[in-house]
Amino acid sequence: MPSDDMPPDVREGHYIKLMIRGGERMKIGDLIRSLNTAVVMLLLGGGIALYLSVPDLIISFKPAISFEELLEEDGRELTSGSHVTGKVVYALDYFASESSYTRRSDGSRSGDRKSGNYYLIPSVDGYFALKCPQADVEALNQLSDETFSYLSSGTEPSTEFFTEGKAELLEGNLVTYYEEYLTELGYTEEEIEAMGAPIVVRYVSFTAVRVMAVIGIVLLLLGLWLLRRGYRREVRGSGLRRAADLPDVP
């Protein structure tokens, strides 16, 4: 309590500040005590789900560009971050493959497992890459063969392949493989440079992305609800009588 020697306004102001500061410390303590394993796991799981899904979720709501539009003179431009969907009309051969392996606890590794190819797709401005999962390799190989036949005979490809994904800048060694394949097709270094920075369209299941985002939101809301309930219980008490308040048993 403030000293009686202090002026009334100073004593009261000092006392109010102490009460406010003490209340803040008490609330933070209650909040920390209201945390438990379930709340932490829900908040962490929801946060991770949203962190992984939100970037692609934003792209999924962008107006989609079709592969047909990329072949038209007045079609839309493909840039990093574009949402691409529809039927792949033409496809040249793949210029790179992707594989994965498992590193065992003893330091050894499993054999390589193919996880997809990078195909060269023509557009009105030149070419871009298409990264497909391994499940789509057979269909794109067939479309590639039919595309080369079309270039020599004029017969349109009959294979219909539909996909969706997001556009990104091609990076690392993939740029080298991309440029080497264009060189094999007869393009000069100046012509390749004039095509601009190479872009790759990577397959993304936007339906799965939206489901993951919804799950993340639900986990976060549930975690916050449990946190709020635990906090209110810490502040107000459980409503049950404490052992010290119970009557003595003879």
Residue 107 domain-assigned? no
What is the pLDDT at residue 103? 67
Which residues have a Cβ under 8 Å from the Cβ of 224 and sit 6 or more positions away? Answer: 43
pLDDT at 102: 67
Tell me, yes or no, whether 158 lies in a domain.
yes
The span from the CA of 179 to the CA of 198, in Å, is 9
pLDDT for the residue numbered 250: 55
Q: Give the pLDDT band of residue 13 (cuts 50, 70, 90).
A: very low
- How confident is the model over 212-225, as a mean pLDDT? 95
Nearest to 189 by CA among 181, 198, 199, 179: 179
Is residue 242 assigned to a domain? no
Domain co-membership, 123 together with 149: yes
CB-based contact 124:73 (threshold 8 Å): yes
Q: How confident is the model at residue 25 (pLDDT cuts 50, 70, 90)?
A: very low
* CA 97 and chain centroid, separation: 23
Expressed as residue numbers, the domain containing 34 is 8-55+210-236
Which of 187, 204, 221 is the endpoint of a domain? Answer: 204
**Whether 74 and 171 share a structural domain:** yes
User: Is 30 inside a domain boundary?
Assistant: yes
In this structure, the answer to whether residues 182 and 92 fall within a common structural domain is: yes
Same domain, 219 and 199: no
CA separation, residue 205 to residues 143, 165, 209, 229 (Å): 22, 7, 6, 36
Does 109 score more than 50 pLDDT? yes
**Which amino acid appears at position 164 of this protein?**
E
The bridge status of strand 83-88 relative to strand 65-66 is parallel
Residue 247 lies in a domain: no
Distance CA 238, CA 204 (A): 48
The answer to whether residue 18 scores a pLDDT higher than 50 is no
Name the strands in the sheet holding 199-203, side by side, starting at the edge strand that comes first in the sequence.
65-66, 83-88, 161-169, 199-203, 126-132, 113-123, 94-100
Rounded Cα gap, residues 140 and 84, in angstroms:
17
Asked if 181 and 217 sit in the same domain, the reply is no
Specify whether 181 is located in the same domain as 220. no
Q: By the 8 A CB rule, do 124 and 132 touch?
A: no
DSSP per-residue string spanning 19-78: HHHHHHHHHHHHHHHH--HHHHHHHHHHHHHHHHHHHHHHHHTSPPEETTGGGSTT-PPP
Residue 244 within a domain: no
* pLDDT (tens digit per residue) in 133-161: 999 999 999 999 999 999 999 999 999 99
Task: Evaluate whether residue 223 is within a structural domain.
Answer: yes
State the average pLDDT over residues 21-39.
66
pLDDT in tens, 172-187: 999 999 999 999 999 9
User: How many percent of the chain have pLDDT more than 90?
Assistant: 64
Q: Are 121 and 191 part of one and the same domain?
A: yes
For the ranges 6-20, 46-60, 63-77, the lowest mean pLDDT is seen at 6-20
* In a shared domain, residues 82 and 32: no
Question: Does one domain contain both 182 and 226?
Answer: no
Q: Which residues contact 108 (CB under 8 A, 6 or more apart)?
A: none
**What integer pLDDT is reported at residue 59 of this predicted model?**
96
CA quadruple 100, 105, 109, 115: dihedral, nearest 10: -10
> Does residue 199 have a pLDDT over 70?
yes
Return the higher-pLDDT residue of 140 and 6: 140
Helix (H) or strand (E) holding 128: strand 126-132
Q: Average pLDDT over the chain, rounded to whole?
A: 84
What is the CA angle 199-201-206, rounded to 5?
145
Domain count, the chain: 2
Shared domain check, 231 and 142: no
Other residues' Cβ atoms within 10 Å of the Cβ of residue 200: 23
89 in the same domain as 31: no
pLDDT at site 114: 86
Q: Do the domain assignments include residue 250? A: no
Q: Is residue 131 located within the same domain as residue 197?
A: yes
Q: Which two tokens stand for residue 136?
A: 């789509």
| Mean pLDDT score, 194-200 | 94
